[in-house]
């Protein structure tokens, strides 16, 4: 079978091997594909792999030989899965590859917000410590996590793992999930959404982007937060009303934010969070540790092999074959 990879660079910028995928068929790998290149590059391929390159209904309709789409990610909103379903084309994703890496980024942001390690290291490099009249100094409040409350919005795999690490730091954990679970692990407390924002010293977002969750964090929710509280988002950018968050930060209504995702990526020049007070933005890299990318590639290859064997797995659009 002919396999086309539309945007392989972010998964594999050169430190991984495509050999296991190339062993499954004739494989053409593109680092990036502009919208107008999607159909010409995927034309004639039975299997198409994409990370963030959009496969629209129009593109799917024009790819007459297309039989299978594998998304190089967990989120699959860049594919019109309903159009694929109507064509009888299964769409698979990779649901679990990045959990621990994303959790690590949650706490990288949180520790940065509470201890400002980068800032203080920079002042030492600039020579300030050697000229200090005291043996130490700090420019911001230094905050201990033990005893604080972390609010988890979305209690799937990543939310649960984040809660586990929070407990290891000695934090209390409150949880809100749109889909209630029958059981809540010991040590966690389920609350309503408003109570998460009202009670928490840190709110961490771990829910998918849907019509229900878009702008979930808005001015109304932000006004419930403590002025000492932090907001972390490693999930999806549009969960947050970014202007409302910028206003809350600039008006000292909350203490800080750490986000790995924005509503438009790459970042738009006029995004208000780029200039907001104490807002730290990383360029959507929580998923990108080498270990996570190795798992992502392995499961993707497994998805392709399973489809070729007539037993597609991790299918998200209810097409069996």
- Per-residue confidence at 182, pLDDT binned at 50, 70, 90? low
Backbone φ, ψ for residue 295 (5° rounding)? -65, -40
Distance CA 221, CA 205 (A): 13
Structural domains of the chain ordered from first start: 2-97+290-308 (3.40.50.720), 99-281 (3.40.50.720)
Other CB atoms closer than 10 Å to residue 139's CB: what's the count? 10
- Per-residue confidence at 105, pLDDT binned at 50, 70, 90? very high
Type and span of the H or E element at 244: helix 242-250
| pLDDT at residue 229 greater than cutoff 60 | yes
| pLDDT at residue 250 greater than cutoff 90 | yes
- Please give the mean pLDDT across all residues of the chain: 95
Tokens of 222: 């932000």
- Looking at the chain, the whole-number percentage of residues with pLDDT higher than 70 is 98
Task: Please return the burial class of 52, using the count of CB atoms within 10 Å of its CB with bins 0-12, 13-18 and 19+.
Answer: middle
- Per-residue confidence at 211, pLDDT binned at 50, 70, 90? confident
Asked if 103 contacts 158 with a C-beta cutoff of 8 angstroms, the reply is yes
Tokens of 100: 């621990």
Q: Which residues are known catalytic residues?
A: 236, 265, 284
C-alpha distances in angstroms, 69 versus 55, 72, 160, 249, 312?
Answer: 9, 10, 29, 41, 11
Asked if 247 contacts 225 with a C-beta cutoff of 8 angstroms, the reply is no
pLDDT in tens, 51-79: 999 999 999 999 999 999 999 998 898 99
pLDDT score for 184: 79
Type and span of the H or E element at 265: none
| Apex 14 CA angle, 314 and 315, nearest 5 | 5
The closest of 243, 208, 206, 204 to 225, measured between CA atoms, is 204
Buried b (16+ CB within 10 A) or exposed e, 153-184: bbbbbbbbbbbebbbeeebbbbbbbeeeeeee
- Looking at the chain, the whole-number percentage of residues with pLDDT higher than 90 is 92
Q: Where do the DSSP E strands lie in the chain? A: 2-5, 26-29, 47-50, 68-71, 91-92, 149-153, 172-176, 188-190, 202-205, 230-233, 256-259, 279-281
Asked if 7 contacts 28 with a C-beta cutoff of 8 angstroms, the reply is no
Mean pLDDT is lowest, of 103-107, 178-182, 198-202, 287-291, for: 178-182
The closest of 59, 128, 79 to 316, measured between CA atoms, is 79
pLDDT score for 87: 94
pLDDT score for 210: 86
Tokens of 166: 């929070």
Distance CA 22, CA 122 (A): 45
Backbone φ, ψ for residue 105 (5° rounding)? -70, -35
In sequence order, what are the beta bridge partners of 188? Answer: 173
- Per-residue confidence at 228, pLDDT binned at 50, 70, 90? very high
Distance CA 101, CA 62 (A): 37
Rg, the chain, Cα only: 22
Distance CA 43, CA 165 (A): 46
For 197, how many CA atoms within 13 A lie in the half-sphere containing its CB?
15
pLDDT score for 24: 98
Asked whether the bond before 282 is cis by omega within 30 degrees of 0, the reply is no
pLDDT in tens, 251-286: 999 999 999 999 999 999 999 999 999 999 999 999
pLDDT score for 181: 64
Mean pLDDT is lowest, of 206-215, 229-238, 259-268, for: 206-215
Other CB atoms closer than 10 Å to residue 134's CB: what's the count? 6
């Amino acid at each position: 079978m002919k396999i086309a990879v539309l945007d392989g660079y972010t998964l594999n910028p050169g430190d991984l091997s495509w050999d296991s995928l190339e062993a499954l068929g004739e494989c053409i790998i593109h680092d990036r594909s502009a919208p107008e290149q999607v159909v010409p590059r995927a034309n004639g391929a039975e299997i198409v792999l994409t990370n963030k390159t959009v496969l629209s209904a129009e593109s799917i309709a024009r790819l007459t030989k297309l039989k299978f789409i594998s998304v190089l990610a967990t989120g699959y909103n860049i594919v019109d899965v309903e159009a694929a379903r109507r064509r009888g084309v299964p769409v698979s994703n990779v649901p679990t590859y990045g959990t621990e890496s994303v959790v690590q980024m949650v706490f990288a942001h949180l520790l940065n917000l509470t201890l400002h390690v980068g800032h203080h290291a920079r002042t030492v490099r600039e020579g300030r410590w050697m000229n200090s009249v005291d043996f130490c100094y700090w420019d911001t409040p230094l905050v201990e996590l033990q005893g604080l409350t972390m609010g988890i919005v979305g209690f799937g795999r990543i939310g649960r793992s984040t809660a586990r690490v929070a407990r290891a730091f000695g934090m209390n954990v409150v949880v809100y999930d749109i889909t209630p679970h029958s059981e809540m692990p010991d040590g966690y407390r389920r609350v309503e959404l408003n109570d998460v924002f009202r009670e928490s010293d840190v709110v961490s977002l771990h829910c998918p982007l849907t019509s229900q969750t878009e702008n979930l964090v808005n001015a109304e929710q932000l006004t419930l937060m403590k002025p000492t509280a932090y907001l972390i988002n490693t999930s999806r950018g549009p969960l947050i009303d970014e202007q409302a968050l910028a206003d809350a930060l600039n008006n000292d209504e909350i203490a800080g934010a750490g986000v790995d995702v924005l509503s438009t990526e790459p970042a738009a020049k006029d995004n208000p969070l780029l200039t907001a007070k104490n807002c730290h933005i990383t360029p959507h890299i929580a998923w990108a540790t080498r270990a996570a990318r190795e798992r992502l590639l392995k499961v993707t290859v497994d998805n392709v092999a399973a489809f070729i064997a007539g037993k597609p797995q991790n299918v998200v659009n209810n097409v069996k074959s």
